[in-house]
Structure 1
Amino acid sequence: MIEEAEKKKLYDAVVRYGDEEVLQKWLVENPKQVGEVSFACSRNLLHLAAMHGHENIVDVLRSHRQLARDLDSQNSTPLHIAAANGRIFAASKLLLIAPETCWWRDCHGMNPVHVAAVNGRVSILEEMFRVNSTPSMERVHRGETVLHLCIKHDRLEALQFLVDKLGELVCAKNDDGDTILHLAVRFNQPQTIRYLVEDTKIEKQARNSMGKTALQIWKESPDISNYSEIEKLLKIPSTKKISKVFPNLSDMTMVVVGLIATMAFQAAISPPGGVWQEDTTSHKAGDAVMAYTHPKLYKQFVRVNNTAFVSSIITIFLITTRQPSGRILFLLISLFAMWVSLASIALSYGASIMVVSPSAETQSQSLVPVIIIVVVVSLGIIGFIFLYSIVREWYLHRTNDPAIEKIEASTNKVLSQVSFVVRGSESAQWL
């Protein structure tokens, strides 16, 4: 057993004075008792050295590796203590001595990365990320990420550092469906809200498990001192509203325009009616039969087929540039090129049917009504979506009725199903 007077002497040497000579002398005289020395909260000598940041004491104790793995009454390692107190030197040494303690959790379920974030210790976070960034991906109670912890403890500087390193976690939700933007609004942190909206890719319209967006939570807040400023930040800009009306330029769009380009290319090298197989006085082998049997129609066929091919290539190029969908000019050009390719390949199909059909007049008469119906229905759906979007924004801007919000959610669900069916039917048509 270690006497109280001896323990107090060690405590003063480690905590008050940072006297390494006293400590080294005691370690030489009692090499097997270093692990038995325990102070308040079951902390050992390295816990105390990490807490008070005496670099020389940490250097002396780093050869005793087991001390770095000991837990105090809060299940905290010396690395947890160094992270909480911002002791960068101690943390760097402890990461070398026992790097596995980066994963260990204290009684609150937090590893040293979480502890550093909660206390706003950016320098500690930088050192930990230099050694191993994986522990930062661990979640704590109720599925909260390290970014959620930064919001809950109002640590903006730590949040900014972590967002730069963990961009993929920005839109992560906890078990309540809250993103970090939901929490920033709920805890009334205007500076954090501004940073998230302006400098990250946070999704402002994300809904939590209660079906509420960050803007809806803000409207329920009793603090209205800077209401208009935050409301302006949380609202979707008009360009992004327009981009949400149209289908996303997704992989499905790439499949469709790729298929159209393939069809147009195939039609160019193998036109309807085939090609002449041998040379004669009136034509050469490889010439399109349609060019001689239907010369006027063939010219129109070539024009629309070329248009379909070129517009498809333009659409593919625009999508592969991965420009943000909020850029309205980019979005409109892409959608216009896609619609041109769809219309052109439809006309090319109609010309092909008229050539190969025994009764071209009958086919023409049956094809025209179908084209008219498709055009009218498509324009009607687009017009309805535009009209609904305008009326919804106008009305919701003047009311915060929960009943209206429920109607809005139901209508959005119906619209998404309609959009899915329309896009599925278009894909099926070209396939």
Structure 2
Amino acid sequence: MAEKEMYDAATIGDVTTLKQLLQTNQHLLDVVSLTSCLKNVLHIAINQGQEGIVEEVLKIKPELALELDSKGSSSLHLAAAIGIVGIAKRLLAIAPEMCWWRDGQDMNPLHVAAVKGNVAVLEEMLRQDSFAAAERLHRGQTVLHLCVKHRQLGTLMVLVDKLGDKDLVSAEDDNGETLLHFAVRTNQLEVVVYLDESGKLGRLTKNSGGKTALNILNESFEDTSTYSEMKSILKKYSNRLIALNLPRFAEMTMVAAVLIATMAFQAAVSPPGGVWQANKPEEEAGEMYFAGHAVMALKEKDLYKQFIQVNIVAFISSLVAILFLATTGSSDQWIFVLCATISMLVSMASIGVTYGISLIMTNPNMDGFGLRYVVAISGSVFLVSIIFIIIISSMRDGKRVKRLVKKVGPPCSFA
């Protein structure tokens, strides 16, 4: 009977009755309610938001705060869920380590506060121990993933502001999904706008399925009112996908650029056809030449001049590519990647033309094979390669095209 009266008092916040009962028998606090999922009187008072009861119970028996209910939840978990700052402060004063405790769902109290949208309690716990907010959950999700998943923009903003960690904002779960993937998948424009305005977005990354947030948007939400605005935001970051592969891109392309620069330099100092080994004797008629001069500079004047011009372009453009690739290593600006790519294309095309001119100058069977044919062949090869790249890239949008055709309907037929 006394136990029931105590639990009734805790439920309705009757501090006077509780005091009277505990003056008679303080051991009543050790009783666990079998009708309330094995909760003690403190758990019940917290669930009902009865600050006065919580204060009185903790004065008499503070260690009661350390007990868990049948679901593995601590008293701080319950306070985080109910959202009363006064109760959370009192519990944190007794056992601040409770911020790290996990309940039956593997969530600590900060996770619970974030999911429930209880900003004030979350801020209080962050002041006590912000490191607990970085704890990962099921499938590698962060507390920020939880905020987006449960549509809690308020607690998301608090966490991003307080933690201020760009890496946490761009963190991926075990499926490679970031906050943006979650926000786009659940069509939360306000989250995308906030992340953009906060300046915490660094890049669009691909999940384990090879899709970025922009891919998900294009596949699923073309007909929604938020599509255009969300797409305009995401496209600003789509080019930063390149930044993910910049080290690999720079490494592979740098090798090619250095190789082309070496080839162009070698062609300049050791031209096709070789160099004169000695000065031309003065008594011999004809044009003068000196040791070290290119033989073809005298034998094929016009063609050799074209060879030198194209070789200079190959050498300089490869050096420019190296410069931009070196800059790319410390920057995620797409302009450097674009300039490096253009420079490499010019360099490769030029070295191809240089090779063709070398063949013409050194092979007597190619006297009629003019420079225009060399340029035509090199241009054709590059054009075909670019078209092939475009076709392969467009295949990724095949599903989108099919959906568009299906939406429009089959072509009309006329009798």
Bin of the TM-score, shorter chain as denominator length: 0.5 to 0.7
For 1:238 and 1:37, locate their aligned partners in 2 and report how far apart those are by CA, in whole Å. Answer: 56
Deviation at 1:57, TM superposition (A): 5.2
Q: Do residues 133 (structure 1) and 118 (structure 2) align?
A: no
Instruction: For 1:259-274, list aligned pairs within 5 A.
Output: 259=255, 260-261=257-258, 264=261, 272-273=269-270
Which residue number corresponds to residue 382 of structure 1?
386
Q: Is the 8 A contact 2:147 2:155 kept in 1?
A: yes
Q: Is the 8 A contact 1:305 1:344 kept in 2?
A: yes
Q: Is the 8 A contact 2:46 2:79 kept in 1?
A: yes
Which residue number corresponds to residue 344 of structure 2?
338
* SS of residue in 1 equivalent to 2:312: helix
CA distance 1:272–1:249, shift in 2 (3 Å): farther
Which residue number corresponds to residue 3 of structure 2?
4
Q: Is the 8 A contact 1:55 1:89 kept in 2?
A: no
Q: TM-score, normalised by structure 2?
A: 0.63
Q: Is the 8 A contact 2:42 2:75 kept in 1?
A: yes
Name the count of aligned residue pairs. 376
* SS of residue in 1 equivalent to 2:363: helix
Q: Is the 8 A contact 1:78 1:94 kept in 2?
A: yes
Q: Is the 8 A contact 1:18 1:57 kept in 2?
A: no
For 2:147 and 2:82, locate their aligned partners in 1 and report how far apart those are by CA, in whole Å. Answer: 16
Give the gaps of 5 or more residues in structure 2: 282-289, 298-303, 409-415
For 2:353 and 2:40, locate their aligned partners in 1 and report how far apart those are by CA, in whole Å. Answer: 82
For 1:234 and 1:19, locate their aligned partners in 2 and report how far apart those are by CA, in whole Å. Answer: 57
For 1:209 and 1:311, locate their aligned partners in 2 and report how far apart those are by CA, in whole Å. Answer: 32
Deviation at 1:89, TM superposition (A): 4.5
Q: TM-score, normalised by structure 1?
A: 0.61
Q: Do residues 254 (structure 1) and 258 (structure 2) align?
A: no
Q: Which amino acid aligns with 1:149?
A: L
Deviation at 1:163, TM superposition (A): 4.7
CA distance 1:117–1:251, shift in 2 (3 Å): same
Instruction: For 1:33-112, list aligned pairs within 5 A.
Output: 33=27, 36-39=30-33, 40-44=36-40, 46-47=42-43, 50-51=46-47, 52=49, 54=51, 58=55, 61=58, 66-92=63-89, 94-95=91-92, 97-112=94-109
Which residue number corresponds to residue 319 of structure 1?
328
Deviation at 1:7, TM superposition (A): 3.2
Q: Which amino acid aligns with 1:107?
A: G
Instruction: For 1:122-161, list aligned pairs within 5 A.
Output: 122-130=119-127, 131-140=129-138, 145-161=142-158
Deviation at 1:70, TM superposition (A): 1.2
Q: Which amino acid aligns with 2:131?
A: S
CA distance 1:330–1:41, shift in 2 (3 Å): same
Which residue number corresponds to residue 412 of structure 1?
none
Deviation at 1:318, TM superposition (A): 4.3
Deviation at 1:311, TM superposition (A): 0.8
For 2:234 and 2:217, locate their aligned partners in 1 and report how far apart those are by CA, in whole Å. Answer: 18
CA distance 1:3–1:322, shift in 2 (3 Å): same
Q: Is the 8 A contact 2:144 2:159 kept in 1?
A: yes
Which residue number corresponds to residue 400 of structure 1?
404
Q: Is the 8 A contact 1:148 1:183 kept in 2?
A: yes
Query: CA offsets, 1:274-332, max 9 Å, x none?
Result: 9x9xxx9x9xxxxx97556566669548734650453124312541352343xxx5554
Q: Is the 8 A contact 1:273 1:289 kept in 2?
A: no
CA distance 1:217–1:137, shift in 2 (3 Å): farther
Q: Which amino acid aligns with 1:213?
A: I
Which residue number corresponds to residue 419 of structure 1?
none
Which residue number corresponds to residue 428 of structure 1?
none
Q: Is the 8 A contact 1:114 1:136 kept in 2?
A: no
CA distance 1:376–1:123, shift in 2 (3 Å): farther
* SS of residue in 2 equivalent to 1:253: helix
Q: Is the 8 A contact 1:62 1:93 kept in 2?
A: no
Q: Which amino acid aligns with 2:363?
A: E
81-90 vs 124-133, greater mean Cα deviation: 124-133
CA distance 1:271–1:303, shift in 2 (3 Å): closer
Give the gaps of 5 or more residues in structure 1: 283-287, 405-431
CA distance 1:71–1:273, shift in 2 (3 Å): same
Q: Is the 8 A contact 2:258 2:322 kept in 1?
A: yes
Which residue number corresponds to residue 117 of structure 1?
114
Q: Which amino acid aligns with 1:78?
A: S
Q: Do residues 214 (structure 1) and 211 (structure 2) align?
A: no
* SS of residue in 1 equivalent to 2:385: helix
Query: CA offsets, 1:205-240, max 9 Å, x none?
Result: 868699982343335xxxx6xx2x322135478977
Which residue number corresponds to residue 360 of structure 1?
362
CA distance 1:255–1:160, shift in 2 (3 Å): same
CA distance 1:36–1:80, shift in 2 (3 Å): same
Deviation at 1:79, TM superposition (A): 1.2
117-126 vs 261-270, greater mean Cα deviation: 261-270
Deviation at 1:90, TM superposition (A): 3.9
